[in-house]
Amino acid sequence: MNLFLIDVDNTLYPETLGVFGFIDERINEYMKIKLNMADGEIKNKRIYYRKQYGTTMAGLMKHYHIDPYYFLEYVHDIDVYSLIKPNPKLAEKIDKIIAVKVAFTNAPKHHAVKVLDALGIIDRFVDIFDIVSSNFVGKPNRYPYEKILDMTKASSYMMADDWEVNLKTAKEFDIFTILVGKAESDAADISVERFENIPLDKLNL
């Protein structure tokens, strides 16, 4: 079995749709309202937390002992359906890739479900491995990769993501990597500007 691990946000749709921008604003809002942080402090802490722990949430859990379930609900409380529309070309591309598809995301499952449903491709995925599935440890930490590989035990793996650092970890597990959102990259086996541009001859070997 060939398993295709596919990130959701900014991978299955272009960053220009602005979905993650709204999530980003909600994270800043949470830190400002719930933790009484100033704007400059928020910016500096988010940069540090992402570098140190992989996600802002992981840093807030460690240093502020926040409730991760409430945090995830709060920051993903956005109208996905007003931003994302069905994409038949994306569905056609996914159908042509010979592999079992699993969503592999740092977002919570309820958000991933809404995005996949809005795109019209939710029925193409056999499962969603979200941030809760990995005990709130997100990519690019090794733990989520170790857990999903141990759970699935496929004969081969591919992974598509819009973050190069996430693919660098994937390469440590000999996973074939596709970077979405850039034309060129040394961190991935394939780089494409959009998921729909993935060359099938590189995947369906």
* pLDDT value for 187: 81
* pLDDT value for 182: 85
pTM of full prediction above 0.85: yes
Task: Please identify every stretch of the chain with a pLDDT value under 50, giving residue numbers as ranges.
Answer: none
Residue 17 Cα distances to 12, 33, 82, 164, angstroms: 11, 26, 10, 20
* pLDDT value for 186: 82
* pLDDT value for 100: 98
* pLDDT value for 119: 98
The identity of residue 192, as a single letter, is V
DSSP letters, 82-131, are HH----HHHHHHHHHS-SEEEEE-SS-HHHHHHHHHHHT-GGG-SEEE-T
* pLDDT value for 173: 97
* pLDDT value for 184: 79
The two structure tokens encoding residue 95 = 């159908």
Q: Hey, what domains does the chain have and what are their CATH numbers?
A: 2-14+85-203 (3.40.50.1000), 19-75 (1.10.150.450)
Residue 141 Cα distances to 28, 112, 159, 184, angstroms: 23, 20, 15, 24
* pLDDT value for 48: 96
